[in-house]
Amino acid sequence: MTEPTRAEVCIAALAEVWRDAGEIMASPFGSIPMIASRLAKRTFSPDLVLTDGEAAIIVGAPPINTSPQDLVREAAVPYRTIFSVVWSGRRHIVMQASQIDRFGNQNLSAIGPPNQPKVQLIGVRGAPGNSVNHKTSYWVPDHSTRTFVEAVDTVCGVGYDRAAAAGSGATRFHDLPRVVSNLGVFDFSGPNHSMALVSVHPGVTVDEVVAATGFELQLDSAVETPWPTDDQLAIIAELDPKGARDREIRT
């Protein structure tokens, strides 16, 4: 077999966030998370609920470049319904983060002062609500000290420290299972739910991850991220025949 690409390692790692998830909505943001959700549905989580990215639940896990008219839809989920799903908790989202900090606070709104940001990004979107209502994991395709920061400039997705400070209304359903970057896999098993290195991707050293991270990581138990299996690689190739996965991360 040929050696898997970094993108394929990330896809297999991200698919794991939905292992044994049962009948919940998987909401992936980005090509690699989207391929990962479909890989999970094709293999170990067949009951996952996927959408067309617009307003319907789709049948199966077709290739990500399937044209809209070729998708088979089974139910309507306009945005109003999506909020009902969010607030019911039956969802695990993988959002991206322009910044993420040690306790899992995430920023996709703006870099710099709130009234006159240095860089205006897309906005808080649904991140505040997602992160206190259902499982929220993150995908960061460009791991660096600019993205893994000591403190985010705007708290959109809520981290463990901020959720705790806001009380039981925020913590009751707050759960950040995983962060996957182009360098490794992380969780919040460190002291006070701080970020810990779970694994480094093949070809990446722990030192590289530490150098690219703007805060102290818990490093106790880092292993190597498993390679995707041959079966997984075959499915990934089928889900992404045009190689969108290799355009999403720097190699």
Partner 1 sequence: MANKRATIDEALDRLEPGMTIGIGGWGSRRKPMAIVRALLNSTLHDLTIVSYGGPDVGLLANSGKATKVIAGFVTLDSIALDPLWRQVRQRGGVDLTEVDEGLFYLGLQAAAWRVPFLPARAGLGSDVLERNPHLKTVANPYMDGPYSEPEDAQSVFVAMPALRLDAAFVHANAADTAGNATFTGPDPYFDELFLGAAALRVVTAERIVDEGTLDTVGPLAKATVHRLLTDLVIETPNGAHFTSCAPDYERDEAFQKAYVTAAGDPELWQGFVDRYLAGNEAQYQAALAQDREGSK
Q: Applying CB under 8 A, which residues contact partner 1?
A: 54-56, 76, 78-80, 83, 86-87, 109-110, 114-129, 131-133, 154-159, 162-163, 165-170, 172-174
The token duo for 71 is: 């998708």
- How many Å apart are CA 79 and CA 132, to the nearest integer? 18
Q: How far is the CB of 194 from partner 1 (least distance, A)?
A: 16
Q: How far is the CB of 154 from partner 1 (least distance, A)?
A: 5
Q: Which one, 2 or 167, has the nearer CB to partner 1?
A: 167
Q: Which one, 65 or 120, has the nearer CB to partner 1?
A: 120
Q: How far is the CB of 68 from partner 1 (least distance, A)?
A: 10
Amino acid at 100: I
Q: How far is the CB of 75 from partner 1 (least distance, A)?
A: 12
Residue 61, C-beta contacts closer than 8 angstroms, at least 6 positions apart: 37, 38, 39, 41, 42, 48, 50, 239
Q: Which one, 42 or 193, has the nearer CB to partner 1?
A: 193
Q: Which one, 3 or 114, has the nearer CB to partner 1?
A: 114
Q: Which one, 32 or 233, has the nearer CB to partner 1?
A: 32
User: In 20-78, which residue ranges form alpha helices assigned H by DSSP?
Assistant: 31-42
Q: Which one, 38 or 134, has the nearer CB to partner 1?
A: 134
H or E element that contains 170: helix 168-171
Q: How far is the CB of 227 from partner 1 (least distance, A)?
A: 32
Residue 49, C-beta contacts closer than 8 angstroms, at least 6 positions apart: 23, 24, 25, 26, 57
- How many Å apart are CA 62 and CA 71, to the nearest integer? 8
Q: How far is the CB of 164 from partner 1 (least distance, A)?
A: 8
H or E element that contains 83: helix 79-88
- How many Å apart are CA 210 and CA 204, to the nearest integer? 11
